[in-house]
Amino acid sequence: MNRKIRVTVNGTARAVEVPTYRTLLDCLRNDLGLTGSKEGCGVGVCGACTVLLDGKMISSCIALAVSADGHEVTTVEGLAGDERLHPVQQAFIDAGGFQCGICTPGQVVSAKALLDANPNPSDAEIREWMLGNLCRCTGYYKIIESIRAAAQRSRA
């Protein structure tokens, strides 16, 4: 029950044959070698597997790879330019927005989607948007600061 699917991943067209039961996360990690997205809770709660599907955040751990057939996926590996990190990534470094880093790919993908949708978010809007990205290390204070800083930098 394998399927051949075509997915544009971080701007590159990829074709891959997967069993129908393959999650998008496992497809990215094991079939396409993109291990930046992580499996934490495995039930869509923690956000470590967050990727963008056609520009919108989803939980790739509870999405079937076959459902991404014909669509565009952006993972953490696709955020940085050739030379430079995305402003969100740089801000997480500068402001201490991560510690162990396991939730960080999901955090920065979500934060990027936030700033794409709302370049100047209030703290309340940051908290609402980022609700689904759990972090066990930072206590979130520096994640909020990181996103504030990234927004500021993007505006400058």
Partner 1 sequence: MRAFEYAAPRTLDEALAVLREHGDEARVIAGGTALVTMMRQRLVSPGYLVSLRDIRGLDRIEADNGGIRIGALATHRDVETSPLVRERLPVLAETFRRVASVRIRNMATVGGALAHADPNQDPPVTLIALGARVEICGTDGRRALPVEEFFRDYYESALEPGEVVIGVVVPQLAPASGAAYVKFLPRTADDYATVAVAATVSVDPDGERCRAARIALGSVGVTPIRARGAEGLLAGQRFGAELLRGAGEAVKGAVDPLSDHRGSAAYKREMAGVMVGRALTRAWDAALVSARGTR
Partner 2 sequence: MAHRIIGKPIGRVDGTEKVSGAARYSGDVSVPGLIWGKALRSPLPHARIARIDVTRAKALPGVLAVLTAKDLPGILVGRRMFDMPLLARERVRFIGEKVAVVAAADPDVAEEATTLIDVEYEDLPAVIDPEAATVAGAPVVHDDPGAYEGAPAERPHANVQSVLRFKLGDVQAGFREAARTFEHTFRTQLAHQGYLEPHAGVVAIDEDGRVQVWASNKMPFRLKELLSHALQLPQEKIRVNLTPIGGDFGGKGSLMDLPLAYHLARVTGRPVKMVMRYAEELMAGNPRHPSVITLRTGVSRDGQIVARSVRALFNSGAYAAFKPAPSVSLGGASMGAGVYRIPNLLIESFCVYTNNIPCGHARSPGEPQMVFAEESHMDMIARELALDPAEFRRRNLLRDGDHLANGHHLEHVRAGDTLEAALKASEYSEPKPGPWIGRGMAMTHRHIGVGFTNAVVRLGTDGRVTLRIALPDTGTGAHLVLRQVVAEVLGVAMDDVEIELATTDDFATDSGVGGSRVTHTGGRAAYHAAEKLKAQIEAEAAKLGVPADSLAAIARAAAREGRTLEASHFYDAKAHGAVTSFTAQVAEVAVDPQTGQVTVRRFTTTHDVGTVINPLGHQGQIEGGLIQGLGFALMEEIKTEEGRISTLSLGDVKLPTIQDIPPLTTVILEDPVGPGPFNAKAIGEGSISAVAPAIANAVADACGARILDLPITAEKVYFALKEKERRP
Q: What is the 3-state secondary structure (H, E, C) of 12-52?
A: EEEEEEEECCCEHHHHHHHHCCCCCCCCCCCCCCCCCCEEE
Q: Which residues sit at the interface with partner 1, rule CB under 8 A?
A: 1, 3, 19-21, 23, 42-45, 47, 50, 56-59, 61-64, 66-67, 69, 110, 128-129, 131-133
Binding string to partner 2 for residues 49 to 78, with x set by CB under 8 A, is what?
--------------------------xxx-
Binding segment toward partner 2, per CB under 8 A, in 52-60, 62-70, 114-122, 140-148: 140-148
Nearest-approach distance from CB 83 to partner 1, in angstroms:
30
Query: Where does residue 68 rank: exposed (0-12), middle (13-18), buried (19+ CB within 10 A)?
Result: buried
Nearest-approach distance from CB 41 to partner 1, in angstroms:
10
As a whole number of angstroms, the distance between CA 109 and CA 75 comes to 7
The partner in contact with residue 8, picked from partner 2, partner 1, none with C-beta cut-offs of 5 to 8 angstroms by kind, is: none
Does position 105 bind partner 2 by CB under 8 A?
A: yes
Say what angle helices 87-94 and 141-155 make with each other, to 10 degrees: 130
Q: What distance lies between CA 105 and its chain's CA centroid? A: 5
